[in-house]
Amino acid sequence: MKIKQEASGWPKWCRSEEDKRKYIKNYYDREGIWLNAENIKKNPGLRQLAKLMLNSFWGKFGQRTNLPQKTYVSDVTVFFDMLTMIAAYTTAQARLKLYQYLERSDRRALYADTDSIVFTVAPGEWEPELGDYLGDLTNEIPDNDIDVFVTGGPKNYAFKLKTPDNEGIQTFAKFRGITLNHKNSLDINFDTIFNMVVNNRDGHITVLDENKIARDPKKSKIITRTEAKDYKIVFDKRVILNELYSIPYGM
């Protein structure tokens, strides 16, 4: 947690040395973790690694144990690694937190995942409070706004920013199961998903990855192979009412 927070960089409001000292002190008072001022600098790669490790630790407690396997157990501590309550409690609390934001956002919510939400906001409308601590929301695109957002299902979305970011990029896309390298990005991107959602929901796009890294279970080694994947709109977790509006089942 310490590494992840330090790799996130200084909060936007930390402009002076006094602000930085206050931030470190407040973080310790709130989370019980002393941050090292010398290590606080934005490092997306290190932050992602620390986040992965944090999720892996508690997720290990909820790993599936009902797969075929045989073993002789002579030490009861082996079962201490199968504490599904920890994994269930963590995800349950995260879901309850997410529901609080979804209820307040109501029909303004466009998309939500385990720990994120995309919503529209107009002057005078409610916005969730942002923060620097565990459980608080952060703005993933500070100093910018999303101009167009489109989704074709879970972990399947794209958006266009009002102004290009620092690297000159204005559109972003994420598609589960598809590696968006330069070649694939020419075939599947913001424009293609936007067109499919709006004009051609029954269509599909085939993406070819000629150097897919995979495992050969029979020979127990890593190989590269050609893999073709079809992308299409999958929207079966909500009820589509009309045009582009939908609601969750049960509402």
pLDDT given at position 244:
67
pLDDT by residue for the chain (251 residues), tens only, comes to: 999 999 999 998 898 999 999 999 999 999 999 999 999 999 989 999 998 888 777 777 777 767 777 778 888 887 776 677 877 888 888 888 888 888 888 888 888 888 889 999 989 999 888 888 888 888 888 888 899 999 888 888 999 999 888 778 888 888 887 877 788 888 888 998 888 888 887 888 888 888 888 888 888 889 888 888 888 888 777 777 776 677 767 65
- Give pairs for 39-46: CB < 8 Å, separation 24+: 39/6, 40/6, 40/9, 40/10, 41/6, 41/7, 41/9, 41/10, 42/7, 42/8, 42/9, 43/7, 43/9, 44/7, 46/3, 46/7
Give yes or no for a contact between 188 and 174, defined as CB atoms under 8 angstroms apart. Answer: no
Distance CA 243, CA 221 (A): 48
Does the pTM of the predicted model rise above 0.75? Answer: no
pLDDT given at position 166:
77
Q: Which two tokens stand for residue 28?
A: 């310790």
- Residue 249's contacts (CB-CB under 8 Å, 6 or more residues apart) are 237, 238, 239
Distance CA 207, CA 230 (A): 6
Instruction: Break the chain into its structural domains and give their ranges.
Output: 1-57, 61-139, 141-251
Burial of 117 (0-12, 13-18, 19+ CB in 10 A): middle
